[in-house]
Amino acid sequence: MRIMITGGTGFVGYHTATALLKAGHELSLLVRSEDKMRRLFGDQIEHFTQGDITDEASVAAALAGCDGVVHAAAMVSIDQRDAQLVRDTNVGGTRQVIGGAIAAGVENIIHVSSVTALYDPGAAFLNEHSPPGKASNAYGASKVECEIYVRELQDAGAPIHITYPGSIIGPDDPALTEPHQGLKTYLNGLVPVMPSGNQWVDVRDVALAHQRLLEGTLTSGRYTLGGHFVPWTQLVDIISAITGRKLRKVPVPASAMRGLGRLMDKVNQWRDTPIDIPVTYEAMVYATNWVRMDDSKAMDELDLEFRPVEESMSAAIRWLLAAGHISEQEAGILAD
């Protein structure tokens, strides 16, 4: 099968592409930087198009001759000055890639969404039946808008799968994505203990889910990929156990974390370069009032078993060390 992938030099796209290559599939990548693609894949990629997901000609060139599509590209920015660019990129890109794939007659399409597109603080849980959520920041709002568009296509009979990963961790992150930024902060020695918790999923499990969707016979569906819910009170114990370090728990009220998020939002409005830490008001709302994800459908229909969170955390910390983001002292016994 020949599969077109957007975001192939990003975390999810890279691991999805790697899994598909190992399974013997042919890829067509739409990338903005050939140099970055070569650093990640070497000479493994024969077919690629250098261009942008919002450019119709680039998308059409990358789609030529493809049997499947994985749309994983998205722009993420906490800078409010990028709000319009985030919307134009994410919504415009989704319309070009998903709409273009349908127009080209592709019958196996995956749209990689986000739990952000479903988040509802009043819900008992989130699953494939959850309606599109609401979001106040530019990225979240763009993912909700993309969600509504893709669901309309699904309802009209288009062969599209939608996946909703939780907080994705694991090895070999081409950048330093938000969950890894948070993990790096915790390894400094102080871990804020808030109400609620977070959902952690291994990037390799997300990639496997995409592979099984592409290789399977299911034509259309929605799949949450939350992985494991871990209360913040237990996260410290998990990180301490796998690193052999004694980390300090710092109890913090939910109101204080949300207040800090508001403060960081205001600070970043006035800075030429935003402070690149995963603390925004919306992120702190999620962190202090997480709604658990029900992955039953993915586990049943895709025969998916999520690897233990300790394994994913260990792999992520070893990668953070290898990439120079943390010290051997911070990695603890994983440095051995």
Instruction: Read off the pLDDT of residues 126-164 as tens digits, 9 standing for 90 and up.
Output: 999 999 998 878 888 999 999 999 999 999 999 999 999
Integer angstrom CA distances of residue 34 from 51, 232, 311 = 10, 40, 32
Dist. CA 2–CA 24, nearest whole Å = 10
Instruction: Give 213-264 pLDDT, tens digit per residue.
Output: 999 999 899 999 999 999 999 999 999 999 999 998 889 898 888 898 888 8
Return the closest-CA partner of residue 35 out of 176, 174, 173. 174
Dist. CA 166–CA 163, nearest whole Å = 10
- Tokens representing 81 are 């000055």
- Tokens representing 256 are 């204080």
Predicted local confidence at residue 83, as pLDDT: 84
% residues pLDDT > 70 (the chain):
97
Instruction: Give 157-195 pLDDT, tens digit per residue.
Output: 999 999 999 999 999 999 999 999 999 989 988 788 888
Predicted local confidence at residue 274, as pLDDT: 62
Residue 80: is its pLDDT beyond 80?
Answer: no
Q: Which residues contact 144 (CB under 8 A, 6 or more apart)?
A: 116, 117, 132, 133, 134, 135
Strand pairing class (26-31; 68-71): unpaired
Q: Which residues contact 66 (CB under 8 A, 6 or more apart)?
A: 2, 3, 4, 28, 101, 104, 106
Predicted local confidence at residue 332, as pLDDT: 97
CATH top-level class for 2-172+200-226+291-307? Answer: alpha beta
Predicted local confidence at residue 82, as pLDDT: 81
Dist. CA 108–CA 40, nearest whole Å = 25
Chain-centroid distance, C-alpha 253: 27
- Tokens representing 23 are 């399974």
Predicted local confidence at residue 78, as pLDDT: 67
Q: Is the CB of residue 219 less than 8 Å from the CB of residue 159?
A: yes
User: End-to-end CA distance of the chain, in Å?
Assistant: 41
Strands across the sheet with 109-112, in order? 47-50, 26-31, 2-6, 68-71, 109-112, 160-165, 221-225
The whole-model pTM stands at: 0.94
Dist. CA 199–CA 196, nearest whole Å = 10
Average pLDDT in the chain: 93
Domain boundaries, the chain: 2-172+200-226+291-307
Predicted local confidence at residue 272, as pLDDT: 67
Predicted local confidence at residue 99, as pLDDT: 97
Strands across the sheet with 197-202, in order? 167-169, 197-202, 228-231
- Tokens representing 74 are 């998205």
Instruction: Give 267-301 pLDDT, tens digit per residue.
Output: 877 776 666 666 777 788 888 889 999 999 999 99
